Each structure stands twice: as structure tokens, then as C-alpha cells.
């Protein structure tokens, strides 16, 4: 049996970027709002075509010492250039980048997951220290 956790990839390929990049502070004062941006293709843009695109990004936070993470949000990207005229005929393309804000009184780990319709599931994480 293959478990879902074993399907997440973490190492990018040379010509394409799939691993979500997490941008946020590494340290925050208790009670302060934390702004987190997650994106795919920061250094090398990911193709964003009808045939090859990032379908969604999810963000989670796992507080230190807790068993289960909290889902901070999920965003689905719906516009990949398709229109009634066919594939890649639209001028509307969503970009795989999201920004959220949250608060926590505990240190922990931020996780970002993304799904490429061709290359599957990808994940990354970033530690957050609350002082």
C-alpha cells in the first residue's frame, strides 16, 4: 500500500519549479499577526497553461507539541488560459501565489502543499518561533 504522505515531493527539477516557497517571518511576538505567502515558481516560473498548471495551494500550521496541524487555508487556481474558443485562448491566467494572515501563541511549523496537474503533489515547510 502506498500512503499519501509518500507521494509528496520536495526536490525540484532543474528546468521547472514545483516546491512551494514559503515567505514569512521566522520569529514573531506572541499575539502578533503573521503574514504568510506561499507560491510556486518564484525563481523559475511554473508553466501556467491549460495543459500544465498548479491547481491548488494549501497552508497548514502545526504547533509545537501538538499531534495534528491546523489548516490555515486552501486556494484553488481556476483560470489557466482556457475559454470557449479552446485551450490557451484566454487572456486570463491565475498565478500560483497566495497570502494569508494568522495568529498563534505557540511556536511550530508552517507547511505548504501544492498540486501540479502533471507532476503531482509537492510540499515544503518553515519553522516559526513565537517569543
Give catalytic status of residue 5 as yes or no.
no
Give catalytic status of residue 129 as yes or no.
no
Q: Which of 42, 106, 119, 126 is catalytic?
A: 119
Give catalytic status of residue 46 as yes or no.
yes
Q: How far is residue 101 from each of residues 11, 89, 104, 107, measured CA to CA in Å?
A: 27, 35, 10, 15
Q: Which of 16, 42, 106, 126 is catalytic?
A: 16
Q: Are 110 and 61 in contact (CB under 8 A)?
A: yes
Q: Which of 42, 52, 106, 126 is catalytic?
A: 52
Q: Which of 27, 30, 46, 127 is catalytic?
A: 46
Retrieve residue 43's grid coordinates.
525563481
Give catalytic status of residue 103 as yes or no.
no
Give catalytic status of residue 53 as yes or no.
no
Q: Are 47 and 117 in contact (CB under 8 A)?
A: no
Give catalytic status of residue 16 as yes or no.
yes
Catalytic residue numbers read: 16-18, 46, 52, 116, 119
Amino acid at each position: 500500500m502506498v500512503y499519501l504522505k509518500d507521494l509528496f515531493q520536495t526536490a525540484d527539477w532543474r528546468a521547472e519549479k514545483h516546491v512551494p516557497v514559503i515567505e514569512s517571518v521566522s520569529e514573531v511576538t506572541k499575539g502578533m499577526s503573521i503574514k504568510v505567502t506561499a507560491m510556486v515558481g518564484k525563481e523559475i516560473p511554473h508553466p501556467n497553461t491549460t495543459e500544465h498548471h498548479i491547481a491548488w495551494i494549501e497552508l497548514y500550521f502545526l504547533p509545537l507539541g501538538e499531534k495534528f496541524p491546523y489548516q490555515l487555508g486552501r486556494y484553488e487556481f481556476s483560470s489557466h488560459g482556457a475559454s470557449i474558443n479552446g485551450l490557451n485562448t484566454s487572456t486570463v491566467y491565475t498565478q500560483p501565489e497566495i497570502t494569508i494572515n494568522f495568529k498563534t501563541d505557540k511556536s511550530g511549523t508552517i507547511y505548504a502543499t501544492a498540486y501540479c496537474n502533471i507532476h503531482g503533489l509537492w510540499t515544503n515547510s518553515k519553522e516559526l518561533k513565537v517569543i
